Chain A
């Protein structure tokens, strides 16, 4: 156990700097029960990466660790060589700034006692204390406008619909100009029409301000519509046995990466109707079924 921890600590400092999002031997769990990993992963930046997997595959856990909500993870997570997850980067020593994270949880995570615009201003005040107030206020107003809530800035969250609240949360995440955007099933509580509008909005916002985005979803179509690459997680953390099998199969580094560049290039409106979309979703559904099958055998 101690050796493992030491090795993990070692690994944390040996992440190659400069690259995009990187995981090295990443493992995490709750109360000592591992739910994900070990994971090895390199994602070039910028890009939208959708994370797909059956429930219990630890996709939210990965996100929470990167967001700094799970300080006890094993191995390392980094962005551009800077450690993630609220760990002291030693950044002070080598002059690195901490990674700025924009986080969008499933149920919006807005402060109910602050208006839409105040929610964004508060986020900016925390994430960008060095900026003058006027600049922050301008950014908050601009992003609210961009997500189509121009006239509703003085509304409180309870006076907004679910879709509108999620728009505020998206505006808040982008407004801090994050290095890393983390979205945890942000649209799963919304109806189909609202969801499509927000998917389009998300893509548009990202194009206006590209960064590395990890988007967790359990919706195969959403994963294909949004991701430049789809990261498929197997069910549960791999034990030694599983890992052998996983390594024998297509899973490498604890997950399966599916290239989706061809679709990522298409206009949003055309994606659903394209043959490639059908092909990708069918393939993914198969893989998800398969992944479930193998773990049930054990």
Chain B
């Protein structure tokens, strides 16, 4: 994290204010419905029903967390296997290598076909996007653990479980966390797509619904909220990283 949190926050606020100024300027110049002024948008934002808005945000975050959780669950084991055993790596590497470059968002219709239009396809898409990144980062994280880290543990009489707990897992977790931070943005974007269909909750639904109703102020309010939720998530990962990755910072 930043060495001086106070100045960091100040800089963030400055950029935040500058962006709003730019927005206000553009809105004044354009003077069209499609870009309301910040004031109008914030007025719409505060006119929203609090409980319902929270439900939208909560639903979206819930889907993201479920997707992350599923991806971790599915990605950790293959990543660990590939990192620890050259044979498993040989076996699984071509699969990962071939499927990694496929733009996962292109699989959205497939996910909808197989998993339906409900929660399963939404969570499944997020997991699908994250899981390959997690597999690769866990593998590389485990591979990067120096051999003598294990050697000292072995010489002390550590068993398989102890070696895993003290060496393999921390090595894997640290690289997993930095991957999560990078791929969270992608996951959030995909969430938007999946919330366009088959649901009446979530930030994606909220934004598209306002768009359909031509309520642009509310649409932008939704975009603001969606961004804020993304920012909060990013901060959370930052915080976790700060708390657990002090040894690397």
- A residues contacting B by CB (< 8 A) are 64, 67-69, 86, 98, 100-103, 105, 107-115, 122-123, 126-127, 156-158, 169, 172, 176, 182
* Contact assessment for B156 and A126 in the assembled complex, using a CB-CB cutoff below 8 Å: yes
Cβ of B166 and Cβ of A101 under 8 Å apart? no
Within the complex, which residue of B153, B155, B248 is in contact with A112, where a contact is CB–CB below 8 Å? B248
Interface string of B56-99 (1 = CB under 8 A from A): 00000000000000000000000000000000000000000000
Does B246 contact A69, Cβ atoms closer than 8 Å?
no
Q: Closest CB-CB distance, B157 to chain A, in whole Å?
A: 6
* 22 A-B residue pairings within 8 Å (CB atoms): A68-B155, A68-B157, A98-B157, A101-B155, A103-B156, A107-B148, A109-B146, A109-B151, A110-B152, A111-B149, A111-B170, A112-B248, A113-B171, A113-B174, A114-B166, A123-B156, A127-B156, A127-B157, A157-B247, A169-B152, A172-B152, A176-B156
Check: B224 CB closer than 8 A to any chain A CB: no
Query: Is the CB–CB distance between B247 and A101 below 8 Å?
Result: no
Cβ–Cβ < 8 Å partners of B119 in chain A: none
> Which single residue of chain A is at the shortest CB-CB distance from B174?
A113
Q: A68-B154, A69-B151, A109-B149 are in contact. Are A126 and B162 (CB under 8 A)?
A: yes
6 tightest A-B CB contacts, nearest first: A103-B155, A109-B152, A67-B155, A109-B148, A156-B247, A113-B170
Residue of B nearest to A176 (CB): B156
A64 to B154, CA, bound (A): 11
Given A86-B154, A176-B156, 4 new contacts (CB under 8 A): A109-B148, A113-B174, A157-B247, A182-B155
Is B158 close to A, CB under 8 A?
Answer: yes
How many whole Å from A262's CB to the nearest CB in chain B? Answer: 32
Contact with A along B107-129 (1 / 0, CB 8 A): 00000000000000000000000
B199-212, CB under 8 A of A: which get 1 and which 0?
A: 00000000000000
- Bound form: Cα–Cα A74–B62 in Å: 58
Give A135 to B155 CA distance when docked, in angstroms. Answer: 22
Q: Label chain A's interface by main secondary structure.
A: loop
Nearest B residue (CB) for A159: B247
B138-169 residues at the A interface, CB under 8 angstroms = 146, 148-149, 151-158, 162, 166-167
* B247 & A69 in contact (Cβ 8 Å cutoff): no
Residues 158-194 of chain B: 1 if any A CB is under 8 Å from the residue's CB, otherwise 0?
Answer: 1000100011001100100000000000000000000
Q: Which of A100, A108, A126, A182 has the most CB of B within 10 A?
A: A126
Which chain A residues border B152 with CB–CB below 8 Å?
103, 105, 109-110, 123, 169, 172
Distance from A114 Cβ to chain B, minimum over Cβ atoms (Å):
7
A residues less than 8 Å from B167 (CB atoms): 111
CA–CA, A127 and B171, complex, Å? 22
Q: Would A113 and B162 count as touching, CB distance under 8 A?
A: no
In the complex where A126-B162, A156-B246 touch, is A107 in contact with B146 (Cβ < 8 A)?
Answer: yes
Q: Name the B residues within 8 Å of A182 (CB-CB).
A: 155
| Cβ–Cβ contact B247 & A114, under 8 A | yes
Contacts of B157 in A (CB 8 A): 68, 98, 100-101, 126-127
A182 to B152, CA, bound (A): 11
B248: which A residues are within 8 A, CB to CB?
A: 112-113, 158
Whether B246 lies near A103 (C-beta < 8 A) is no
Check A126/B158 contact, CB under 8 A, given A69-B151, A109-B148, A111-B167.
yes
Contact of B155 among A69, A110, A115 (CB under 8 A): A69
With a 10 A CB-CB cut-off, give which of B149, B155, B247 has the most chain A CB atoms.
Answer: B155
> Which among B149, B154, B156, B171 has the highest number of chain A CB atoms within 10 Å?
B156
Contacts of A67 in B (CB 8 A): 151, 154-155
Q: A75 to B54, alpha carbons, bound, how many Å?
A: 71
Given the known A-B contacts A111-B170, A114-B247, are A101 and B148 also in contact in the complex, defined by CB atoms under 8 Å?
no
Q: How far is A115 from B157 in the complex, measured between Cα atoms in Å?
A: 21
Give CA–CA (A105, B166) in the complex, Å. 18
CA distance A113 to B243 in the complex (A): 12
How far, in whole Å, are A105 and B151 apart by their CA atoms in the complex? 9
Are the C-beta atoms of B156 and A101 separated by less than 8 Å?
yes
- In the complex, chain B residues whose CB is within 8 Å of the CB of A100: 157
